[in-house]
């Protein structure tokens, strides 16, 4: 097809023409066409023709032309598109420049289960001093596969990570996904032994409570999923967490009330 022309990706100096040429490749389920796109996206030359240095200074990452290519890869969900995303973790262009790293950290969330390459990339971008730390934790929760939740557990248990950040993660990305079975299983492991004692009641609190005015300064705080939408497996896991917390953790009165109310909501007040 004329629009799937690799020569445009290789040669064109027009950002608009490059974007128009790249999007059909991003939509394609064909591995060969995805490889062509992956080779282009791994190239500094292509990326600098797609978005100029002035573009990077003028716009946030999500407003770049590159972000539109990522959006198509992110939403297409084909195996070939996922392979393109994973391949970029090894590209120099996505390991040395913050705006591109941010886009890839977020986009990898659709690759489930998270492969070792994605875990290594997220690990490198979730060190305590990383500018992508918060984006990475959100991506781990959005991904929700066992390898991603395993890395999330390690980050919450890491004494080098700041306490306030851990609290933020509990009350935002974890809270947003607190109906998800893999995340709940990870939380069960953390509550029953994987976390330092002082963090365990706070994690239980985030799974059971929602104090909008107290926890958030933003005018658009996260909203937890409705309990009614939780699967039976999710409710069973949350029930175990709540019962363990009541019997073994030092909960304050507000936390205790939230746990008891949650047990009522999920039909688990009795033994």
Q: 61, 258, 224, 228: which is closest to 141 by C-alpha? A: 224
The whole-number pLDDT of residue 1 equals: 37
pTM attached to this predicted model: 0.94
Residue 7 covered by a domain: yes
213 belongs to a structural domain: no
Angle at 158 between CA 152 and CA 160, to 5 degrees: 130
Residue 25 in contact with residue 33, Cβ under 8 Å?
A: yes
Q: Is residue 12 one of the residues assigned to a domain?
A: yes
**Residues 46, 26: Cα–Cα separation, whole Å:** 15
d(CA 150, CA 194): 11
pLDDT number for residue 5: 79
Sequence-distant (6+) residues with CB within 8 A of 164 are none
| Residue 56 falls inside a structural domain | yes
pLDDT score of 133 = 98
Domain count of the fold of the chain = 1
For residue 120, is it within any domain? no
**Residue 248: its pLDDT value, please?**
97
For every residue of 77-106, DSSP letters joined together read --HHHHHHHHHGGG-GGGSS-HHHHHHHHH
Owning domain of residue 43: 1-97
**10-residue stretch averages of pLDDT, the chain, 271 residues long:** 73 96 95 96 97 97 98 93 98 97 98 98 98 98 98 97 97 98 97 95 98 88 94 97 97 97 84 46
pLDDT of residue 220: 86
The answer to whether residue 68 is domain-embedded is yes
For 81-97, write each residue's pLDDT tens digit: 999 999 999 999 999 99
Residue 177: inside a domain: no
Angle at 256 between CA 253 and CA 257, to 5 degrees: 85
- Is 135 among the domain residues? no
pLDDT in tens, 211-241: 999 999 877 899 999 999 999 999 999 999 9
Q: Up-side HSE of residue 119: CA atoms within 13 Å toward CB?
A: 17
């Amino acid at each position: 097809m004329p629009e799937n022309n690799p020569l445009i990706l290789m040669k064109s100096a027009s950002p608009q023409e490059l974007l128009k040429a790249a999007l059909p490749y991003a939509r394609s389920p064909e591995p060969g066409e995805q490889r062509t796109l992956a080779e282009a996206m791994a190239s500094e030359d292509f990326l600098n023709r797609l978005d100029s240095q002035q573009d990077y200074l003028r716009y946030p990452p999500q407003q770049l032309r590159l972000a539109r290519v990522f959006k198509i890869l992110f939403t297409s969900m084909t195996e070939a598109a996922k392979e393109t995303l994973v391949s970029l973790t090894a590209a120099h262009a996505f390991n040395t420049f913050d705006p591109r790293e941010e886009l890839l950290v977020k986009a990898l969330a659709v690759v489930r289960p998270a492969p070792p390459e994605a875990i290594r990339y997220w690990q490198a971008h979730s060190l305590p001093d990383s500018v992508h730390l918060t984006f990475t934790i959100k991506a781990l929760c959005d991904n929700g596969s066992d390898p991603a939740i395993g890395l999330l557990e390690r980050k919450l248990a890491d004494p080098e990570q700041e306490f306030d950040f851990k609290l933020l993660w509990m009350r935002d990305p974890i809270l947003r996904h607190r109906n998800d079975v893999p995340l709940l299983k990870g939380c069960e492991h953390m509550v029953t032994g994987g976390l330092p004692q002082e963090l365990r009641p706070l994690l239980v609190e985030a799974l059971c409570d929602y104090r909008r005015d107290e926890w958030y300064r933003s005018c658009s705080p996260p909203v937890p999923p409705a309990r009614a939408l939780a699967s039976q497996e999710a409710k069973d896991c949350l029930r175990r967490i709540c019962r363990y917390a009541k019997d073994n953790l030092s909960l304050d009165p507000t936390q205790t009330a939230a746990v008891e109310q949650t047990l009522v909501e999920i039909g688990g007040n009795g033994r």
